[in-house]
Amino acid sequence: PKGKKKGKRKDYWLRKRAVVRVVNKTLAGGKYHKLKGVVTSVVDKYGAEVSVYGTGDTVVLDQDDLETVVPAVGGAVLVLNG
């Protein structure tokens, strides 16, 4: 497509208020695996403080331990890395 710029994507995508899922199976003995949470603050390019739903816990995680969650139909979308 005309005007499309290549190579502009960043290798980091964490943003405050992004809904994420923990994919690290070994973190805290698997306690958080597959649980969802929300990024409450970004620590650095690759790290974020995540408030895990249903546990009341707030943990600092690397983006490699997380994946984005697709919102439900009609839910708000947050563009992380266009």
Read off the pLDDT of residues 43-63 as tens digits, 9 standing for 90 and up: 999 999 999 999 999 999 999
CA distance linking residue 12 with residue 44, whole number of Å = 10
**Phi and psi for 63 in degrees, rounded to 5?**
-65, -20
Read off the pLDDT of residues 2-56 as tens digits, 9 standing for 90 and up: 656 666 788 999 999 999 999 999 999 999 999 999 999 999 999 999 999 999 9
Closest CA to 11 of 47, 45, 62: 45
